Structure formats: C-alpha cells, structure tokens
Amino acid sequence: MRPSRKVPQALGFAFGLSLAVLVSLPALAQTAPGASRSILAFPRPGGFPNPAFRVTYARADEAPPLMVRTGENTFEPLYRRTPDGGYAPARAAGYRIAMTSCPSITTSADYRSRMIDLAAAEWAYFGLPILDMAVEPAAIVPRVPQPSGVVEIISPQKNASIGDRVLRQAPRLGLSEDDYEVSDAIAGYWAATGSEEAMRVQSIVDYGWDGAGWAMPWSAAFISWLACEAGLSTAQFRRSGGHIDYVRAAVRARDGQDPEHAFIAYDLGEATPEAGDLLCTARSDSTFRSIADVRNGNSSSNALHCDLVVKTDTKHNRLYAIGGNVNHAVTMSVIATDAKGRPLTDADVIGAHRWFAVLKARAGGNVAHDLDGTPTVQMLYRDYARYAGARRGQAPVPLQSRGGRAKADATSP
C-alpha cells in the first residue's frame, strides 16, 4: 500500500450534518496529518473492509516499466535518458491489484443494506462531505433590488456556476482524491473492477506530477466496489470503470435478457427511488433521457453517473444519495424531489442533474434499514451522545429506528 504517515487521534468538534436524524455530530475522529485544512476522517466500524487492502504499492525500483497505450491492445514502453547518454525504461511507483475476491469479508446481510452500510462507512472515512442540491434555486451572490430594477452583482453565467449548473449552496468539504490518506482507498475501488488500467495511467500521472489527484473518474469504480463487497458476483453486477456497463445490464435485465443481474432499470417517471436503489444521470456530452436511449444507444457519449440512494424524506421533498468522485470525494448529495419522492431534473430546476433512470433490486421489497440504521451512523451517534453527556450538554433526540436502546445510549456518557 502507499506509505502514509501515522494519523493522530483527536476529538472532533462541531460540524454541520444535513440529515434529519443528526443536527451536529462531534465524534472521535482522525485528522488528516500535515493538511493545510482541518479535515476529520472517521474510522470505519469494526469488521468493515478496508479497500486499501485490495492493492499493493510498488516503488519505482520495484515497478514494471511504464507503458503507453498505442492501440486497442498494444502498448509501448516509455524511456528516460541515462547519465551516460543512453536510454532506459522509465519506472514509476504505482498500485497493483493484490486481491480480487468478492466480498473480502463474509457477510449475510441483504446486498442493498450492505451497500448502504459500506457507502456510509466510506463517506465518514472521507470526512462526511455533503453537496446540498435540495435548497431553493438561488445563486451564491444575490441580486440587489434597486428603484431602477434588479441589479446583477455578478453575471449569472459567472455566478458560481458551470454553464447552466448554478451552485446554490457551498458544499461541505472532506478529504479529497489528492489527499494521501484516501488514495489507497480509491485504488482499492479500482481493484474491484478487475482492471489495472486506471492504476497504470495514474502511475504515469504521478511520475510527472505527484499528488495531482486521480486522472480517470472513479465514480463507477466506487459503485463496483460496493457491489463487490456486498457479495454480488460479476454475473449479478457488471463491475466496471464505466457506469454504462452495469446500466446496460440493468436495461437488459428489464428486457428479460439478463436473468442474473441484481438490478433492473426503470425510467424516472415510472419508479420512485428508495433506499438501496441506484439513481442515474447523464453527464458531460451524453444525451440519455430514458432507458430506451440506453437500449438503442441514442447518445454519442456514454458518460453517466450513478449514486446509491441511502435515505428518502418525502415529507421534506428530498432524498440522500452517496456517490464516488462527487466533488473529488465520496460525498453525500442532498437531492430535491417532488411530493411523490421523484428527483427534480434540470427540466424542473436550474442546476439539477439530468436524472433519468432508477435501478431497483430484482428481489424487490424494502431494505432492512436505511442510512439511519447503519453501523457508521449509530457509532457516530453514540460518540456524540457520550460527548454531550460528558459535558452536561443536552443529549440529542434518539434515532427513531433504535427504540428504547437508542434512548439508553443517548443518556450514557
């Protein structure tokens, strides 16, 4: 694994957590050493897999020569100039796959609940970053009303936006992909796909600019790792570095052509997302608007992104989903929904994603628990209750799903 410095233990103080069950959640946490900003990184609960164990880190003198792809299945080595004027193969430190078994830790939990548990643990390990997309549409820099009319302080095209994507609320940041503390974990997500392509590319990138972050988007690798550690075989889930592969499989499952695939695709208008579902959006230049578009290949680009829904809250018109490579981290997105719980798209509100598909479990039924019942949230909740109790502060409201036991925990310092 990639060498990293010892992480000191520290008591985390107040930070905002936009969840109905948690208002603020100080807890025992690790802090990123030597960072220019104070980022809390919460340890995974006991018995949870560490994705970093799926890879090894080969130093330059142990690494194979750097290879550059020159064709679909052809590579050529990179060379460097030697002091005597000759040339030698260039070598750079990089990751290699060490483990491919799925899951790495045996579990009997329903795979959807297991995926939620795993996603929550990784989210906490990255420092609980949040991207809130459920607030009312408003730019960060407001408009000023004047007698002569409204004055735009900053042009809407430059007002914290990317094209038409207006950022309505500053995100809560955690550890990022360029932090050494999480680079091993991201490599482990890639290992679950069974391909070292991204690791090979990354070794070339780090050879020229160490700490530049991951060159290839790793959101699909994260979802693939969740499926792997939840116990799904390659026949049950197409683990890949591209979301399109498992989305296509879910569409084929809908058409009766892939009877083993664990997820079945539905259009956004015919299925309401629930905890344990995968919610998918078109991104970049892709023009997917329906599963029929995926079925027929009606897009010149296959760029997609999917998040795992971990909690829904129709009362407040929002749902919570965790995804990889969102703001360069494992991030929770708070997504606006209509009264029926269906996500608002870019046709409804400026800045929303182009949501178009929901992948639901073939088995059907409700998950055993959502985000509130995950070991990670329970651990953080208990830490906060002890923290508040030790300082004679007001204990938080117990989690509804925990019953009497949660009430007892809330009063135990």
Residues 25-45: tens digit of each pLDDT: 444 455 545 444 567 778 999
- Lowest mean pLDDT of 209-213, 272-276, 305-309, name the range: 209-213
What residue segments make up the domains of the chain, in order of their start? Answer: 9-48+111-179+236-372, 378-410
* pLDDT tens-digit readout, 102-130: 999 887 779 999 999 999 999 999 999 99
Residue of 62, 291, 352, 67 whose CA lies nearest to 201: 67
Residue 194 tokens read as: 């069974």
pLDDT at 192 over 80: yes
Contact residues for 14 (Cβ-Cβ < 8 A; gap 6+) = 24, 26
Contact 39, 8 (CB under 8 A): no
pLDDT confidence tier of residue 69, bands split at 50, 70 and 90 = confident
Handedness of CA 131, 134, 136, 137 (dihedral sign): positive
What distance in Å separates the CA atoms of residue 362 and residue 177, rounded to the nearest whole number?
33
pLDDT given at position 399: 42
Decide which of 271 and 40 is more confident.
Answer: 271
What distance in Å separates the CA atoms of residue 311 and residue 320, rounded to the nearest whole number?
5
Contact 327, 171 (CB under 8 A): yes
Instruction: Give the mean pLDDT of 373-391.
Output: 79
pLDDT given at position 11: 24
